[in-house]
Amino acid sequence: MMMQERTHKDATGAILFDAALSPQVGRDWFALEYWRGRDALRTQAGGRGGVAIIVTPIGECVLRHYRRGGRVAALMGDRYLWTGADRSRPFAEFRLLAEIARLGLPAPTVVAAGYCRHGLFYSADLITRRIADASTLAECLARGRLDGELAEEVGALVARFHRAGVWHADLNAHNVLVASGEWYLIDFDRGRLRAPAVAWQQANLQRLRRSLLKLGAASEGEAAFEKAIWQPLLHRYQRTLDA
């Protein structure tokens, strides 16, 4: 189904949505209270993103509220400096996900993005279709399921995005999903399309490596991790990149 991008402006901001999925998306879609009142709020997770699973007229979706991390969060929380609609975090991610879908790469299907203006700042949300019965790479690691074969699949996944010039701003083990044997990348906030180049591709891979090490993937020593996990991942990555 080809995307039909539509924009709806209101007194507080604007909503960008795919009319091919839903002919109309209102401001209520971004309010947890709206879904809770309809017994359509399934789960709500904490953390930086403020992620919830909602049951919409088009099926289960993920509602993510944009929130800053690190030291800036104490000052800004969920506010971002306004520099225009097209440069807002949700609109940029919406359009990147639309392009990723056009390229045939595995990522969540984007449904809607919205922002609310607050003077010189704005707050924002994004809605994507939920990938059912998925586990993150971090969860696979915690369950002892990360082996060379699994690592090869991850390498192939990352290579497909890199070959297409898709840069993920936060490539870590929590943003790699597997569901029914299929692999996906999620959370493309601040991601963008770039001309393929070894420098940023390798930096992206090193970010993923640091994430795995931080989560304990080298519990038997870094040399063992290198041989059993990282080298198979890199080998499959390079083969896929060169294909």
Residues 86-89: contacts with CB under 8 Å, at least 24 apart: 88/115, 88/122, 88/124, 89/115, 89/124, 89/189, 89/190
Going by pLDDT thresholds of 50, 70 and 90, the confidence category of residue 236 is very high
Integer CA distances (angstroms), 232 to 103, 151, 156, in order: 26, 6, 10
Considering only CA atoms, which of 62, 73, 17, 44 is closest in space to residue 188? 62
Q: Tokens in use for 219?
A: 């519990």
Burial environment of residue 85 by CB neighbours within 10 A (0 to 12, 13 to 18, 19 or more): middle
> How large is the average pLDDT for residues 153-162?
98
Question: Residue 183 and residue 219: Cα distance in Å, rounded?
Answer: 25
Specify the pLDDT at position 144.
Answer: 96
Would you list the domain boundaries of the chain?
5-129, 135-242
Instruction: State percent of the chain over pLDDT 70.
Output: 96
Structure tokens at 222: 């870094």
Predicted pLDDT of residue 13:
98
6 burial via Cβ count (<10 Å: 0-12, 13-18, 19+): middle
**pLDDT confidence of residue 77:** 81
208, 85, 191: which is closest to 146 by C-alpha? 208
* Among 39-43, 61-65, 129-133, 136-140, the least confident range: 39-43
Mean per-residue pLDDT over the chain, rounded: 94
CATH 1.10.287.3510 fits 135-242, yes or no: no
Return d(Cα 34, Cα 103) in angstroms, integer: 34
* Token couple for 76: 């800004």
pLDDT at 74: 64
Pairing type for strands 80-81 and 135-136 reads: unpaired
CA quadruple 135, 141, 146, 151: dihedral positive or negative? positive
| Active site annotation includes 147 | no
Q: Which tens digit of pLDDT belongs to each residue from 10-31?
A: 999 999 999 999 999 999 999 9
pLDDT, average across residues 151-158: 98
Given the DSSP bridges, would you call strands 176-179 and 182-185 parallel, antiparallel or unpaired?
antiparallel
Average pLDDT on 84-101 reads 98
Mean pLDDT of the region 212-224: 97
The mean per-residue pLDDT over the stretch 167-181 comes to: 97
CA-to-CA distance for 54 and 25, rounded, in angstroms? 14
The answer, yes or no, to whether residue 48 has pLDDT greater than 80, is no
Statement: residue 46 has pLDDT above 90: no
Distances (CA, A) of 212 to 2, 84, 136: 36, 36, 12
Q: Which of 28, 86, 147, 170 is catalytic?
A: 170
What single-letter DSSP state applies at residue 30?
G
What's the pLDDT score for residue 73? Answer: 62
Beta-bridge partners for 167: 192
**Predicted confidence band of residue 72 (pLDDT cuts 50, 70, 90):** low
Radius of gyration of the chain from its Cα atoms, rounded to whole angstroms = 19
